[in-house]
Structure 1
Amino acid sequence: MGLTFINAVLFGVQGNTIRILGEDNAWNQFLAGCAAGAIESFICCPMELAKIRMQLQGTGEVKSKSKVYKNSWDCLTKIYRKEGIRGMYRGMTATFIRETPALGVYFLTYDCLTRYLGCEPEDSYIIPKLLFAGGMAGITSWLSTFPVDVIKSRLQLDGVTGVNHYCGMMDCVRQSYKKEGMRVFARGLTSTLLRAFPVNAATFSTVTVFLMYMRAGEDAVECKHIQTIQEVSGL
């Protein structure tokens, strides 16, 4: 449910930013993606906070808090009552730092690959090409900022038991590195990439095909309108 709203905001902001910038080129695709990521992070942060706490309740150091949350809405409500709006946006700085460049890379990679592969509406292989470009865009995006995601997740889980282990983002980086070394910043990367390819392949190809049909419909209506004007003018 969260992804539906997030993607609507993401592609809406990116598309409108491209129109404002004027020219559809690689650099503007990157800038538009960054703008979309910056705005989307304010929606993404509380949703991911609820997801992470729901997934990890009853495990590890939060065993004493087993089944505290009935569902995602109940989770966010209880966080708000206990910690206020600041609690709901725990890890916001890390989310912003992750989303802004990551989504710039996301749209840049997709744009470059679709141009290189020649994804045109009349191409009989357009769907496989779009799926590949979307999947690779998702993988590249995650690879570019995954260490920040690890820190963000740890910050969002911090304080669940009533004890805060980290004073901030940099303190979390230092403590994580000191205890677990460089490997900690790639923890969970394999599963994330395995998820990223099919999810983003489906997302990008669906959006692209939908926009193609919409534009084709608009062009058909415009041509019919012009034809009608010409016929009337001839009379």
Structure 2
Amino acid sequence: MDFVAGCIGGAAGVLVGHPFDTVKVRLQVQSVDKPLYRGTFHCFQSIIRQESVFGLYKGIGSPMMGLTFINAIVFGVQGNTMRLLGQDTPMNQFFAGAAAGAIQCVICCPMELAKTRMQMQGTGEKKSSKRLYKNSLDCLARIYNREGLWGVNRGMVTTLIRETPGFGVYFLAYDVLTRSLGCEPDDRYMIPKLLFAGGMAGIASWLSTYPVDVIKSRLQADGVGGVNQYSSIADCVRQSVRREGYMVFTRGLTSTLLRAFPVNAATFATVTLVLMYARGVEEGPQDCEPAQTSHHAQIQQQAQPSSL
């Protein structure tokens, strides 16, 4: 039931956060010479006006498809790593989260490649006249046919660099915040505290790795128009800084931070409700004892959103 709750919670997070992710990707990869969007809110308005509300949900099939596999990997690796490390300390939470983040890249990288390509398809068009990809699976199949396994895993190195410390910071921040806020069996604000901790941990995680995410998005979107602009990670960094300055690494950050809090809040709220319904309210908050695994620690291990 814990696995099911985590998957449902993750799906809720994807539904809430995907429009913000679409805006983030569009801002990260738009041309500096002919920018389509002036900022986060202008990008939102433009997509809705030109492509309808559904334009914000382009590419949602890919994260939804990969959700179950990613959650299974994250849950298993994080739980087993914590058992191997023995003690439930903030630093062990960081190492366990980093291990989970690194291993789930096997699914995360192709999933985000398809998501990015779908989000860029038909930019500025309500009805795209030339749809290169029918859906996320078709996108990955076409990339594989043209470029093989290497093409499907485009951006794997940057994904690893982002996800490994990113998940580590997420687990660490969430653990520190939940310990600081306290968890009492009769605390009526326990769930809001968990939601706040999850949302803030997500923000901390994105802030720690955001520049890498900008490069990852640019590498994965490279070649969409038929021309490859970057030959490597270093070349992408060099060209981006030369043309746009160091502020390029903050492209789409507002949208990302706006997305981070509600995504984590939706995930934790859904997981909490599903677990309470399945186990009964009496089994939920009453496990919060210092010497035992707390209820919020259990939810922490079982409800991590796939891309923070």
**Structure 1-normalised TM-score?**
0.84
Unmatched runs of 5 consecutive residues or more in structure 1: 221-235
Deviation at 1:200, TM superposition (A): 1.2
Output the amino acid matched with 1:78.
R
> 1:29–1:108: 8 Å Cα contact kept in structure 2?
yes
Cα offsets for 1:145-177 (capped at 9, x unmatched): 001000000000112233221111111001000
Output the amino acid matched with 1:74.
D
> 1:158–1:165: 8 Å Cα contact kept in structure 2?
yes
Decide which of 38, 50, 55 is 2:102's aligned counterpart.
38
2:264 counterpart residue number? 200
Task: Measure, in 2, the Cα distance between the counterparts of 1:103 and 1:18.
Answer: 14
Aligned runs of 1:42-191 on 2, under 5 Å? 42-59=106-123, 66-191=130-255
Task: Measure, in 2, the Cα distance between the counterparts of 1:140 and 1:39.
Answer: 21
Cα offsets for 1:122-165 (capped at 9, x unmatched): 32111100000000011000000001000000000112233221
Deviation at 1:100, TM superposition (A): 0.2
1:8 counterpart residue number? 72
2:55 counterpart residue number? none
Structure 1 segments of 4 or more deviating over 6 A? none
Task: Measure, in 2, the Cα distance between the counterparts of 1:70 and 1:120.
Answer: 50
Task: Measure, in 2, the Cα distance between the counterparts of 1:111 and 1:85.
Answer: 37
> 1:53–1:157: 8 Å Cα contact kept in structure 2?
yes
Unmatched runs of 5 consecutive residues or more in structure 2: 1-63, 288-308
Aligned runs of 1:17-36 on 2, under 5 Å? 17-36=81-100
- After alignment, is 207-216 or 47-56 more displaced? 207-216
Give the structure with the larger helix fraction: 1
Deviation at 1:121, TM superposition (A): 4.0
Q: Percent identity?
A: 70
- After alignment, is 72-81 or 3-12 more displaced? 3-12
How many corresponding residue pairs?
216
RMSD: 2.5
- After alignment, is 169-178 or 158-167 more displaced? 158-167
- After alignment, is 69-78 or 13-22 more displaced? 13-22
Distance change in 2, residues 1:164/1:22 (3 Å): same
Distance change in 2, residues 1:130/1:38 (3 Å): same
Distance change in 2, residues 1:66/1:184 (3 Å): farther
Deviation at 1:77, TM superposition (A): 0.7
Task: Measure, in 2, the Cα distance between the counterparts of 1:19 and 1:204.
Answer: 23
1:232 counterpart residue number? none
Output the amino acid matched with 1:166.
Y
> 1:57–1:67: 8 Å Cα contact kept in structure 2?
yes
Output the amino acid matched with 2:161.
I
**Structure 2-normalised TM-score?**
0.65
Output the amino acid matched with 2:263.
V
Deviation at 1:207, TM superposition (A): 4.3
SS of 1:152 mapped into structure 2: helix
> 1:52–1:153: 8 Å Cα contact kept in structure 2?
yes
